[in-house]
Amino acid sequence: MASPDTQPETIAAEVAGIAGRYRLALGAQRFRGRMGGRRGHGVGSSMEFFDFRDYALGDDLRYIDWRSYARTEQLRIRLHQEEVAPYVDVLVDTSASLSATSGKERAARLLAAACLQWAKREGAMARLSALGGSELLAEQLVFDGPAGAPLPPVAPLRPGGVRILLTDGLWPEDPAPGLLRLMTGAARFFCLQLLDPWELEPTAEGAMTLVDCETGQRAEVQLDARAVAAYRGRLQRLLDELRLLVIGHGGDHAVVRADILASMCARDLLPAGVLEPA
Amino acid sequence: MSFATPWGLLGLLAVPLVVFVHLFRRHLRERPIAALFLWTEQRLVADAGRTRTRLLRTPSFWLECLAAATLGLWLGGPSLGGAVARHVVFVLDDSASMSSGATLASARDEVAKRANGLSSGDRVTVLRTGPHPEVLLGPKALPGEVASALTRWRPVQARHDPLPTLDLARELAAGPGEVVFCTDEEPPGDCKDLTVVALGQGAPNVAILTAQRGARSNGAGEELRLRLGGYSGAAGSQLTVRSGEQVLAQQAVELRDGFLDLAIELPDGTAAVQVQLAPDALAVDNEAWLLPAPARVVGVCDLLPAAQRPLLELDRVMLALRGFRREVDASRAQLVLSDKPGQLTAGQTEIVVAPAEGERDAWRGPFVLDRGHPWLAGLQLEGVVWLSSRRTLPGHVLAAVGNQALLSEEFLDAGRRLWVNLDPSAGNAPRSPDWPLLLANVLESCRAEVPGAEMPNVVLGNEARYRRSLLAGNGDTALQLEAPDGTRRPGHGLRTVGWLLEQPGLHRVLGSDDRELDRFAARFHDPSESDLRGLRTFVAPATRAPGGEGREGSLRDISLEQRVLGLLLLTFVVLDWWWLARRAR
């Protein structure tokens, strides 16, 4: 049973209050999608000039460039830029590690719902999919998947669209092959690496038994300053590798500290260029 | 702490036990995480192999080790060279003169003051002198318990030798101990190893030296015979004789030569008599209780055939005997007459006059008698012609003629039996004076078996003896003696139950359902204790340690160290609990 903080109504209320202040920073890329307000790859009916071509029978006479005809006596057609609403694929890592803590799980649900909300505001056809799984609704998110490298969803990813990967990036294996498959064909790729505050900055709490929430493995660990420092070093290397991989292939990477949505947007997503003020 | 204190060594075993528990049985707080592989190098336990884990030196571990070590030290009784604990053995003189005047109060105050001056780590033992030393408190009790022991000290004993008690005190105080002898006169023997506190003071005193109750010289009624003694110039007193609320006599007595003999007639049927003198220095010898001599009536059950009775002249003989009653139930009689042996109970005597059988002989003597036996006291058998059967009598022979036993005594598991080999049909034995004398002797010996108090008037320090009936329904199966102050003591013994009397006054013997069975009157009698002239007041400190110079085995006052260690132990336990509770949150 979901806790009160992860109830769909609670999540929706918080997203509704915050998401309107921001929008996805999609930039000037060309996208593919349905009719919308973003530049597409082809010819459309926007106000922005795109190119000329010779008149062909059947062309709309309204687009004949009469000035060029006056100079050259040849009928030419003015072509305008296509404007589309991009496809947005929100890819959620549903492994159990996203629910290692209740705060982390709640933050994941908030971000997933907020991404869908921002996509809708763009007029895009948004789709929420689990990594290695099928399309689902935000309310149907269940973080109980197995550990392993990232896999594409069952439904093929739409080329030329925006892809937002929501994950904690804590894969024991090399994620590069899987990530590249996710990034291939995307016009814009965002990797939101969501981590719990304790995962980012663990405290020296003495001896304790750590339980891996994905594999169930247990390990007795002495959490002292030296151990924490070693962990943070390894975590930082892991974050850097993922960042380099994403940025190196044209994507955007943001480390998000699990928190309330307003804090995550203002503190992490806005400076990272994932969002921009609406 | 040493190997002589095994608890300390055992307590130290708790330290490795704590380490063992931390090595093999550890319960740590759990935390779910997303990436265990990031903590690989910090793991304490290998995934496979031995179950022993790396020792976690957590605050809880150190606190538990410290607590275990402190426990071991606490049990071991460590000493940092604290003061030597004292062991004081107080010997209280229990002779009656200690209760004269203010001596008893002074002695109690002195002992209490010395006990209060001791620290809580010191120990005391309180002994009371007497024919047999008695431990009132201890050995090695707390000083605070002395007060209760002193309230039980009421000296009423006759003069006795305190040396056995002092020797016991020296043994108890061997080593670091010291002995304080609280008395009222010069102690006997060499007492330089004791601290003698004498608190006696000579004072005039009049005492009841003798108090007897008996028949008057003319044989009519009872009289009270008293002998009073005066000491230290005491020349007179006021004498009062009471029986219940009735004052039988009240007169001023004057002791001319220091003594006075009195005889006071008592009315018929007078019950317990209380003789009392005016209060003076010593109260215990101013009072005497006297109970009337008990009527010890012997129950006689006659089971002889009617034809044999006139031949034995029993009706004539019984008329001459006194102090008996005829009893139909043989089990309730002390003397049974029969022509054949029966089943006896403890304390019963049976006279068996067996019928003649076979050949008989008439004997005229000489008769051989066991004159030392009480049954044959006064028997002569002169001129007696004794006709007897030729038979062998059981038991040992009391009277014989030739090779024929005439009287024999047979001891049984319960009771005893007098066999009479007599054919009363001929001869003159039943008509001789010796025949009633024999029966009277047997009757008197049976009188001692009558249930009840053997001697109702007892001097303090002597034993009051009560003879039980041993019959069901008599209510004397479990006996208790109730002293004048109401305290009760159970009696022990099979046939005769005895109590050592320690209080003057009337004591009640209580049977089942608190039914009074009999009474004892106890009075003090010891002229040497009534004479208070030799009492002294002085304090003689000990000039050497009791039991020699050896101080080995001396006890040190480790209470401070133990308190500190106990506090530390508690602190460690509380801190560990706090730490674990905080970690659990």
pLDDT in tens, B348-374: 899 998 777 778 888 887 889 888 899
Statement to judge: residues A65 and A121 lie in one domain:
no
Number of domains in chain A: 2
Residues 6+ apart with CB under 8 A from A241: none
Beta strands in B22-153 (DSSP E): 29-33, 87-92, 123-128, 134-141
- The pLDDT of residue B560 is above 80: no
Of A170, A206, A218, the CB nearest to B58: A206
- Rounded to whole angstroms, the Cα distance separating B521 from B271 reads 12
If asked whether residues A264 and A176 sit together in one domain, one would say: yes
The answer on pLDDT for B47 being more than 60 is no
Q: Do A199 and B34 touch (CB under 8 A)?
A: yes
Closest Cβ opposite residue B28 in set A98, A196, A208: A208
Same domain, A114 and A132: yes
pLDDT in tens, A61-87: 888 889 888 999 888 888 877 777 788
Q: Which of B28, B35, B40 sits opposite A209 (nearest CB)?
A: B28
Q: Report residue B444 as tokens.
A: 């008197």
d(CA A179, CA A250): 12
B44 → closest Cβ in A98, A222, A230: A222
Q: Examine residue B335 and state whether it is found in any structural domain, yes or no.
A: yes
- The predicted model gives B78-91 an average pLDDT of 72
Give the best residue of B31, B53, B61 to mutate against chain A (max A CB count within 10 A).
B31
Nearby residues of A271 by Cβ (< 8 Å), 6 or more positions away: none
Instruction: For residue B171, tell me if it sits in a domain.
Output: yes
Neighbours of B40 (CB within 10 A): 12
Other CB atoms within 10 A of residue A247 CB: 13
Instruction: Quote the percentage of chain A above a pLDDT of 90.
Output: 30
Interface contact B26-A235, CB threshold 8 A: no
Q: What is the mean pLDDT of chain B?
A: 82
Which residues, including other chains, have CB under 8 Å from residue B270's CB and lie 6 or more apart?
A: B222, B243, B248, B292
pLDDT at position B79, please? 61
Strands B360-363 and B386-389: antiparallel
In a domain, B96, yes or no: yes
Reported in sequence order, the residue ranges of B455-557 that DSSP labels E, i.e. its strands, are 457-459, 463-467, 480-482, 488-490, 496-500, 505-510, 516-523, 537-540
More confident of the two residues B358 and B303: B303
Number of domains in chain B: 3
User: The tokens of A137 are what?
Assistant: 């609704």
The whole-number pLDDT of residue B583 equals 67
CB–CB contact A230 B44 (8 Å): no
Q: Enumerate the residues of chain A whose CB falls inside 8 A of the CB of residue B54.
A: 222
Contact B467, B490 (CB under 8 A): no
Q: Tell me how far apart the alpha carbons of residues B366 and B380 are, in angstroms, rounded to a whole number.
A: 10
Among A83, A100, A118, which residue terminates a domain? A83
**Residue of B27, B54, B24 lying closest to B41 (CA atoms):** B54
Residue A222 with chain B: CB contacts under 8 Å: 42, 44, 54, 56
| B112 and B36 in a common domain | no
Q: What is the pLDDT of residue B554?
A: 46
One domain, residues B323 and B414: yes
DSSP-derived 3-state class of residue A27: coil
- Residue ending a domain, among A83, A118, A151, is A83
Q: Which residue of B has its CA nearest to A97?
A: B34
Contact A211 B41 (CB under 8 A): no
At residue B78 the predicted structure's pLDDT band, cuts being 50, 70 and 90, is low
Give the 3-state secondary structure of B214-257. Answer: EECCCCCCEEEEEEEEEECCCCEEEEEEEECCEEEEEEEEECCC
pLDDT at A114 over 90: yes
B32 contacts A211? CB cut-off 8 A? yes
Question: Mean pLDDT throughout A166-179?
Answer: 89
Same domain (yes/no): B78, B158: no
Say how far apart CA B96 and CA B251 lie, in whole Å: 26
Based on the fold, state whether residues A76 and A98 are members of the same structural domain.
Answer: no
Tokens of B21: 């528990």
**Is B38 within 8 Å of A168 when comparing Cβ atoms?**
no
3-class DSSP state of B557: coil
Residue B227 lies in a domain: no
Cα dihedral sign for B154, B160, B164, B170? Answer: positive
- Final residue of a domain: which of B447, B474, B493? B447
The average pLDDT across B500-504 equals 85
When pLDDT is cut at 50, 70 and 90, the band that residue B1 belongs to is very low
* Residues A200, A263 within the same domain: yes
Contact list, B29 vs chain A (CB under 8 Å): 205, 208-209
- B382, B414, B447 — which closes off a domain? B447
Residues of B in contact with A101 (CB under 8 A): 32
Q: CB–CB of A172 and B37 under 8 A?
A: yes
Asked whether residue A71 falls in the same domain as residue A104, the answer is: no
Question: Do B438 and B361 share a structural domain?
Answer: yes
Mean pLDDT lowest for which of B76-90, B167-181, B514-528, B562-576? Answer: B76-90
- Domain shared by A99 and A68, yes or no: no
Task: Identify the bridge partners of residue B509 per DSSP, sorted by sequence position.
Answer: B481, B518
Other beta carbons within 10 angstroms of residue B2's beta carbon come to 9
Percent of chain B with pLDDT over 70: 89
Cβ pair B178, B88 in contact under 8 A: yes
Residue B265 confidence (pLDDT) above 80: yes
By C-alpha distance, the chain B residue nearest A143 is: B34
How far B566 CA sits from the closest chain A CA (Å)?
29
Assign B549 a pLDDT band (cuts: 50, 70, 90): very low
Stronger pLDDT, B234 or A153, i.e. the higher one? A153
Say which residue, B427 or B418, is predicted with more confidence. B418
pLDDT value of residue B383: 87
Please name the member of B28, B33, B59 whose beta carbon is closest to the beta carbon of A220: B28
Asked which of A49, A83, A117 is the last residue of a domain, the reply is: A83
Indicate whether B211 belongs to any domain: no
Answer yes or no: do A90 and A157 share one domain: yes
Distance CA(B367)–CA(B402), nearest Å, equals: 8
Across the interface, whether the CB atoms of A214 and B34 are under 8 A apart is answered yes
For residue A75, what are the domain limits? 35-83
B308: tokens are 């044999």
Q: Could you tell me if A65 and A203 lie in one domain? A: no
Same domain, B432 and B309: yes
At B553, the pLDDT band (50, 70, 90 cuts) reads very low
Across chain A, what does the average pLDDT equal?
86
Does residue A232 share a domain with residue A193? yes
Identity (one letter) of the amino acid at B174? A
Based on the fold, state whether residues B124 and B60 are members of the same structural domain.
no
Residue B43 pLDDT = 62
Looking at the structure, tell me whether residues A75 and A131 fall in a common domain: no
Residue A221 to residue B29, Cβ atoms within 8 A = no
Q: Say whether the peptide bond before residue B139 is cis (omega within 30 degrees of 0).
A: yes
CATH number at residue B181: 3.40.50.410
Do B141 and B190 fall into the same domain?
A: yes
Asked whether the beta carbons of residue B36 and residue A168 sit closer than 8 angstroms, the reply is no
Of the candidates B32, B238, B128, B239, the one whose C-alpha atom is nearest the C-alpha of residue A96 is B32
pLDDT above 80 for B561: no
pLDDT-derived band of residue B4, with 50, 70 and 90 as boundaries? very low
Structural domain harbouring B433: 298-447
**pLDDT confidence of residue A189:** 92
Give pLDDT, residue A240.
Answer: 94
Among the residue ranges A12-26, B28-42, B128-142, B310-324, the one predicted with the least confidence is B28-42
Q: Is the N-terminal amide bond of A177 cis, ω within 30° of 0?
A: no
CATH number at residue B343: 3.40.50.880
The answer on B91 and B62 residing in a single domain is no
Domain end residue (candidates: B416, B447, B478)? B447
Q: How confident is the model at residue B550 (pLDDT cuts 50, 70, 90)?
A: very low
Q: Beta strand B222-231 with B205-215: parallel, antiparallel or unpaired?
A: antiparallel
Contact B32 A213 (CB under 8 A): yes
pLDDT in tens, A12-66: 999 988 888 998 888 777 777 776 667 776 666 666 777 788 888 888 888 888 9
Residues in chain B with CB shorter than 8 Å from the CB of A149 are none
Pair B322, B441 in one domain: yes
Let me know whether A206 and A125 are in one domain. yes
CB B264 within 8 A of CB B214: no
Q: Is the domain of B185 the same as that of B95?
A: yes
Question: Is the same domain home to B119 and B198?
Answer: yes
For the cut 90, the answer to whether the pLDDT of residue B211 exceeds it is no
pLDDT over threshold 50, residue B41? yes
B134-163 as b/e, with b when 16 or more CB fall inside 10 Å?
ebbbbbebebeebeebbeebbbbbbebebe
Identify the CA nearest to B261 among candidates B209, B334, B311, B306: B209
pLDDT digits (tens, 9 = 90+) for A191-238: 999 999 999 999 887 778 888 888 888 888 878 888 899 999 999 999
Q: Is residue B146 part of a domain?
A: yes
| Residue at B266 is within a domain | no
Q: How far is the C-alpha of B341 from the C-alpha of B351, rounded, in Å? A: 8
